[in-house]
Each structure stands twice: as C-alpha cells, then as structure tokens.
C-alpha cells in the first residue's frame, strides 16, 4: 500500500509541473519582440561617377604589308617581336628573271643610243661639207662686187679720156666672168644644199626609232622600280606582330590570304571604345580612365580620353547610336597587347573623404531621404542629403552623421524612430526568408 502511494505521488508531481508550464506559457509575461536587421559601418571614402565601356586595344599605327607582285619569297629578314625602322627590308622576292630582263633592256638601250650617236655624227659631218660650198659662193660674190666696182671706175676714166677703150673692155670682160663664176657657185650651193638635205634626212634617226628608244627607257625605269619593290619594306617604325610569309612560297600565297607581315607602332596604345548616346554627353577630353583586361588579371592601368568622334554611328546590335571614343593608355604594361578586349572605366566626377552608403541603405519617403542607425538596439531615423552617386554607392551628408555609426541595410517604410531591433548577420537574415524584418522573440 505504501509502494502504491509513492508512485501516485510521482505521477501527481509530473502532472503538476506540466500544468504549471502550460499556465506560464499562456498566462506568464510575454517575451519582448524585436525586428532583425543587418547593418554596415558608416565610413568616409571616395565616390566616383563613372561610365564603363568595352573596347579593343590598338596601337598608334599599324600596317599590313603585302606585295603587288606574286614572286617567290627567297629571304625573310625578321621574326615576330622584332623592332623595325621605316624603310627596313623585311623580305626579298625572287628577282633573278627580272634582273635578266633589265640587263637585256639596258644593253638594247645602249646599242640604240650608240646608233643614234653615229647618226647624229654623220649629220654633223654632212653639215660641215656645206661650209666649202657656202665659202665658194661668198668668194664669188666678193669677186663679182669687185669686178662691178672696177668696171664703174674704168667707165669714169674712159669718159675722161684717161684710159684707152681696150682697158675698159678688159674690165667689162672680167665682170662678165665674175658673174658667171658667182652664178655657178650659187647653183652649186643650191644643188649641194638639196643633196645635203636629202643626206641629212637619210642620216637623221626616224621618229619611230626615237619613240622606241624612249619606250625602252620607260620600260627600264618601270622594271627597276619593280625590282626595288621585290624588296618588301616596312612603311612605318614599329614591332613585327605577325609573319605570314614563308620562304619558298609566293608572296600572295599566304594562309587565308593574310598579309605577308603586320607591323604595329606600339609607342602609344589606345582603347577604342563605343559610347552610347545616353552617356556620350558626360565624356570629355582628358578625363581619367582605369583600364582592365583579362590579360592584366586583377591589375589596372591608367589612361585618358584622347579623342571623341564628332559623329555617331548605328550600333550593329541595336538601333541605338554609338560614338567612337579613343582612350590613350598612359601607363605602359607589356601585357596589354594590341587586339585584346579591355574595359575602360571613365571617371566623370569624383568627391573625396565623404560619407557614403550603399543605395539600398537609403529610404526615400515623399522626396526626402533617410537612413536608420542602430544605437543600443534601437533605431534612430536621420534625414540625409544625397550627393554624388556611383554605380553602387551614394554620397550622403547630415550634421548628425559620425564615422562608425551602424547603418541599417535595406530599411523598410514600417521602421520607426525608437523601434527595438536585433542586429543579425546575413546568414541569420536568410533564415527569415522573404520577410527579413519579421519580428522575433528576444
């Protein structure tokens, strides 16, 4: 009977504990309810407004070297990576047959010029042969003039009775003979000049021969120029970035019809980007640029906006208008090679040493901006003025702001001054699902 009583007492005790627990749950004091919030620390820093664009790296100047003549490549003087000067010979094409043609043509021209020289010498000799005939004619004219004067003198003397008539007749006969000699000399000169002209015409090179010689000279000049062009030279100073030519193959027989060589002047490098019409008004010359690319890893290099195209063009991927912008790379880095893709972050405006918060830390109500701070697990609402905005952060100002404040992330419109909250980390916030500010028991 005693054993039964003890068991009964234990059962009643357990029942009493359960009843007391249930009573406490339903009728005892309620736990204080708080709202979970995630916070960040308010800090000062720099805020930059930027425009990000994609582009390709290009060099100061580039040249694709080809040959207009499809001759065999017999010599290549450079390799990829070599630095070359303007006019430097990169390769030579087979010009043996062309040199033979040039030698033959030079010999022909020399022979033709020699023949022409002989013809001109013959003409000069013919011209010299006319000198004696002209001299005879001139002497006969002098004799005729003298005989005419002598006869006039004899006539005056005869009329005055100073000489006999026989002496006058002799003078008259002498004049007649002088006239005959002059007439003969003139006739001989005229005939000689006619015959000589025929000889000159015969000896003078024909126009067709002169034209043929001139054509040969032109052809020689063209072949010499062509021979010079069989030496493939660089039109610019720069670096050999590609060599597609191969010894033993023809100059134009490259893979996929690529040029023989590509030369790039890498003394300056640029990022050539396309800026949308919405952002182009923000872009100004000499704006600072940070350039990143896969080849740079986590590093960046500096640049400046160097040129803004005065005209736009239609985007290939949409109907929007884009404007080409050229960005000069001012910080050299050998990894940033021509042809690679790069991202350019153009600094439009910036402020330093200001309070800044993420966009979602600001609550906007009726055109006024607020943030919530947490002090002693209690919310404090502060009106702030927004300043410069970047892609992720916004500058804020207020006399109530101090560094180190705990700023609520993603505040809700239901938040109020003095509201109790519980600071939790991101992992705990995720436990509350779609309603991260759901109240929990403290």
Token pair recorded at residue 240: 């050999």
Q: For residues 203 and 310, state if they share a domain.
A: no
Residue numbers of the domain that contains 241? 60-94+228-255
Provide CB contacts within 8 A for 133, sequence distance 6+. 185, 188, 189, 192, 193
Q: For residues 185 and 280, state if they share a domain.
A: no
pTM, rounded to two decimals: 0.55
Q: For residues 35 and 84, state if they share a domain.
A: no
Q: For residues 369 and 422, state if they share a domain.
A: yes
Cα separation, 242 vs 333, in Å, equals 20
pLDDT by residue, tens only, the chain of 442 residues: 444 566 667 776 777 777 766 765 565 555 556 789 999 999 999 998 999 999 999 988 889 999 999 999 999 999 999 999 999 999 999 999 999 999 999 999 999 888 877 777 666 766 666 777 778 888 888 988 898 888 888 888 888 888 888 888 888 888 889 888 888 878 877 776 666 666 666 556 677 878 888 999 999 999 999 999 999 999 999 999 999 999 999 999 998 899 999 999 988 899 999 999 889 999 999 999 999 999 999 999 999 999 999 999 988 777 889 999 999 999 999 899 888 999 999 999 989 999 999 989 999 998 999 999 999 999 999 999 999 998 889 999 999 999 999 999 999 989 999 999 999 876 555 555 444 444 554 4
Domain count, the chain: 3
CATH code at 242? 2.40.50.100
- Asked if the structure places residue 79 within a domain, the reply is yes
Token pair recorded at residue 285: 């010359």
Q: For residues 37 and 52, state if they share a domain.
A: yes
Angle at 420 between CA 417 and CA 422, to 5 degrees: 130
- Asked if the structure places residue 24 within a domain, the reply is no
- Asked if the structure places residue 435 within a domain, the reply is no
- Asked if the structure places residue 21 within a domain, the reply is no
- Asked if the structure places residue 7 within a domain, the reply is no
CB 42 within 8 A of CB 413: no
Q: Is 325 strand, coil or helix? A: strand
Matching residue, tokens 């600072």: 288
Q: For residues 204 and 81, state if they share a domain.
A: no
CB 408 within 8 A of CB 414: no
Q: For residues 215 and 100, state if they share a domain.
A: yes
Q: For residues 398 and 352, state if they share a domain.
A: yes
Residue among 284, 282, 276 at smallest CA distance from 321: 276
Q: For residues 310 and 397, state if they share a domain.
A: yes
Cα separation, 328 vs 287, in Å, equals 11
Q: For residues 54 and 127, state if they share a domain.
A: no
Q: For residues 89 and 236, state if they share a domain.
A: yes
- Asked if the structure places residue 376 within a domain, the reply is yes
- Asked if the structure places residue 132 within a domain, the reply is yes
Q: For residues 74 and 114, state if they share a domain.
A: no
CATH code at 319? 2.40.30.170
CATH code at 180? 1.10.287
- Asked if the structure places residue 431 within a domain, the reply is no
């Amino acid at each position: 009977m005693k054993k039964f009583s003890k068991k009964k007492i234990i059962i009643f005790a357990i029942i009493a504990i359960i009843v007391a627990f249930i009573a406490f749950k339903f009728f005892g004091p309620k736990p204080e309810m708080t709202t979970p919030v995630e916070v960040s620390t308010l800090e000062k820093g720099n805020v930059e407004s930027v425009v990000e664009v994609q582009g390709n790296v290009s060099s100061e100047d580039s040249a694709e070297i080809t040959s207009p003549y499809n001759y065999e490549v017999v010599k290549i003087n450079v390799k990829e990576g070599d630095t070359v000067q303007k006019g430097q010979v990169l390769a030579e094409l087979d010009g043996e047959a062309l040199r033979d043609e040039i030698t033959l043509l030079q010999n022909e021209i020399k022979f033709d010029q020699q023949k022409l020289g002989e013809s001109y010498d013959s003409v000069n000799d013919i011209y010299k042969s006319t000198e004696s005939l002209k001299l005879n004619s001139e002497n006969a004219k002098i004799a005729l003039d003298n005989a005419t004067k002598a006869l006039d003198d004899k006539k005056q003397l005869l009329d005055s009775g100073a000489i006999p008539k026989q002496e006058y007749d002799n003078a008259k006969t002498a004049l007649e003979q002088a006239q005959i000699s002059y007439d003969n000399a003139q006739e001989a000169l005229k005939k000689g000049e006619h015959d000589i002209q025929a000889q000159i015409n015969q000896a003078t090179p024909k126009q067709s021969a002169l034209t043929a010689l001139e054509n040969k000279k032109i052809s020689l000049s063209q072949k010499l120029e062509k021979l010079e062009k069989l030496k493939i030279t660089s039109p610019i100073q720069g670096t050999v970035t590609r060599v597609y030519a191969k010894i033993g193959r023809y100059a134009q027989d490259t893979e996929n019809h690529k040029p023989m060589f590509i030369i790039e002047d890498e003394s300056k490098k640029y990022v050539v980007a396309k800026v949308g019409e919405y952002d182009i008004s923000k872009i100004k010359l000499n704006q600072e640029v940070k350039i990143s690319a896969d080849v740079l890893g986590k590093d960046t290099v500096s640049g400046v906006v160097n040129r803004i195209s005065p005209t736009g063009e239609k985007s290939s991927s949409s109907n929007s208008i884009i404007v080409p912008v050229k960005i000069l790379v001012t910080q050299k880095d050998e990894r940033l090679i021509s042809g690679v893709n790069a991202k350019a972050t153009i600094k439009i405006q910036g402020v330093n040493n200001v309070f800044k918060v993420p966009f979602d830390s600001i609550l906007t109500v009726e055109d006024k901006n607020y943030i919530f701070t947490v002090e002693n697990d209690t919310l404090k609402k502060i009106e702030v003025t927004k300043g410069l905005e970047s892609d992720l952060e916004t500058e804020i100002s207020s006399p109530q702001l101090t560094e180190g404040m705990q700023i609520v992330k993603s505040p809700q419109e239901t938040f109020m001054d003095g509201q109790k909250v519980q600071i939790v980390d991101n992992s705990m916030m995720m436990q509350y699902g779609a309603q991260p500010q759901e109240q929990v028991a403290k």
